[in-house]
Structure 1
Amino acid sequence: MKTVFRIVLGFVLLAAALAAYSYGHTTGTFLFIVAGFALEASFWFNLFPVRRKAPR
């Protein structure tokens, strides 16, 4: 994956997570809090991808 695409995708995921947290907090809807958590988790997994070693 290209570096610029990963950076842009990370910022989009983080902005979406913050928006979901904010909307869930103001309306009191727990579903948006869960959606914000899922978006934030995908941000962190995108930021630090798991690298697998090649078999010997």
Structure 2
Amino acid sequence: MQTIYRIILLGIVLILAVLCYQIGFATGTYAVVGLGMVLELSFWLGLFKKNRRHV
């Protein structure tokens, strides 16, 4: 069940990143574009994160 939550969260982060890019480029606000970059980076880091099992 944890995998489903992770996939949903990654999808939400990616959608938010795209929205930030659209708003930032339309209005010329670089802070919003920067936020989109941070969200996209967190998406890619979360996508390739290795699952570690605690013993």
TM-score (normalised: structure 2): 0.86
Across the aligned residues of Structure 1 and Structure 2, the Cα RMSD in angstroms comes to 1.6
| Runs of 4+ with >2 A deviation | none
Equivalent residue for 2:8?
A: 8
User: Which protein has the larger Cα radius of gyration, Structure 1 or Structure 2?
Assistant: 1
TM-score (normalised: structure 1): 0.85
Q: Which runs of 5+ in 1 are unaligned?
A: none
Cα deviation 1:15-55 (Å, max 9, x = unaligned): 00000000000000000110000000000011111467xxx
Percent identity of equivalent pairs? 40
Q: Which runs of 5+ in 2 are unaligned?
A: none
1:1-56 mapped onto 2 (5 Å cutoff): 2-50=2-50
Q: How many residues align?
A: 52
Quick one: distance in 2 between partners of 1:51 and 1:10? 15
